[in-house]
C-alpha cells in the first residue's frame, strides 16, 4: 500500500462524514472490491479522498489508484480542495460559507505568490496579473459568479472563515461544533 502524506490543513477543509455515512462508504467500497474513483494527490500528499484512504488502511486488500494533480503551491491546492468540496450536495449552509471564504482566501494568497513582488521574476516576466492569474476577472467576482452568489457574499464568507479559524485555534473543535 502506498503511504500518502496527510496534510492536516487539507484534511480539515473536508467536512467529516457522519458515522452512518462512513459505514455506508466502507460497505460500498468492500462490495465493489476496489475504489471507483482515484485518490487525488499532489507531491505524494493526499488532496481528496481522506475518508476512502482511511478505509483503505483498514482494508489493504482493496485495489485503488491515485491521480496526481499539479499545483503551483500549497495555496493553489487548498483552493482546489475548497472548490471541489463546494460541489458536494450534502453541505450545510455554514460549511458552504466556510469553504467559499476559504477558497477566496487561498486563491488570493496563490495569486499573490504567482505575481511575486518587485524583486521576483514574476514582475519581469509578465507584470501584474490583476487579482487573479486565471483570467481578467478579479478573484472575488469570479468565485461569486461560479457559485451563484454576490461579490458581497464572498467577502462576508471570507470574514466568516477567518473568524471560524481564529475561534478554532483558541478553542480546538469549535469549527466542528458550528458545522454540526
Q: What is the pLDDT of residue 145?
A: 94
Helix (H, G, I), strand (E, B) or coil at 63: strand
Residue range 56-76, pLDDT digits in tens = 999 999 999 999 999 999 999
Number of C-alpha atoms within 13 angstroms, CB side, residue 92? Answer: 14
Q: Distance between CA 47 and CA 148 in Å, rounded? A: 25
Q: What is the pLDDT of residue 52?
A: 96
Q: Where are the domains of the chain?
A: 5-68, 74-179
Q: What is the pLDDT of residue 135?
A: 52
Taking 50 as the pLDDT cut, the residues of the chain under it are 118, 120-133
Task: Answer yes or no: are the C-beta atoms of 34 and 63 closer than 8 Å.
Answer: yes
Q: What is the pLDDT of residue 123?
A: 41
Q: Distance between CA 38 and CA 140 in Å, rounded? A: 31
Q: Please give the C-alpha separations between residue 82 and each of 29, 64, 123, 157, in angstroms, as whole numbers.
A: 24, 23, 28, 13
Percent of the chain with pLDDT over 90: 70
Q: What is the pLDDT of residue 17?
A: 86
Amino acid at each position: 500500500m502506498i503511504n500518502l502524506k496527510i496534510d492536516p490543513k487539507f484534511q480539515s477543509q473536508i467536512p467529516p462524514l457522519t458515522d452512518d455515512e462512513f459505514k455506508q462508504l466502507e460497505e460500498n467500497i468492500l462490495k465493489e472490491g476496489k475504489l471507483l474513483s482515484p485518490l487525488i494527490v499532489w507531491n505524494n500528499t493526499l488532496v481528496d479522498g481522506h475518508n476512502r484512504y482511511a478505509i483503505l488502511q483498514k482494508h489493504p486488500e482493496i485495489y485503488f489508484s491515485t491521480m496526481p494533480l499539479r499545483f503551483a503551491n500549497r495555496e493553489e491546492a487548498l483552493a482546489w480542495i475548497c472548490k471541489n468540496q463546494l460541489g458536494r450536495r450534502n453541505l450545510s449552509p455554514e460549511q458552504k460559507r466556510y469553504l467559499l471564504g476559504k477558497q477566496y482566501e487561498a486563491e488570493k494568497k496563490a495569486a499573490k505568490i504567482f505575481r511575486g513582488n518587485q524583486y521576483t521574476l514574476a514582475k519581469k516576466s509578465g507584470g501584474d496579473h490583476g487579482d487573479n492569474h486565471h483570467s481578467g476577472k478579479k478573484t472575488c467576482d469570479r468565485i461569486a459568479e461560479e457559485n451563484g452568489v454576490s461579490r458581497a457574499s464572498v467577502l462576508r464568507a471570507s470574514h466568516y472563515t477567518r473568524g471560524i479559524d481564529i475561534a478554532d485555534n483558541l478553542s480546538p473543535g469549535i469549527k466542528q461544533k458550528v458545522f454540526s
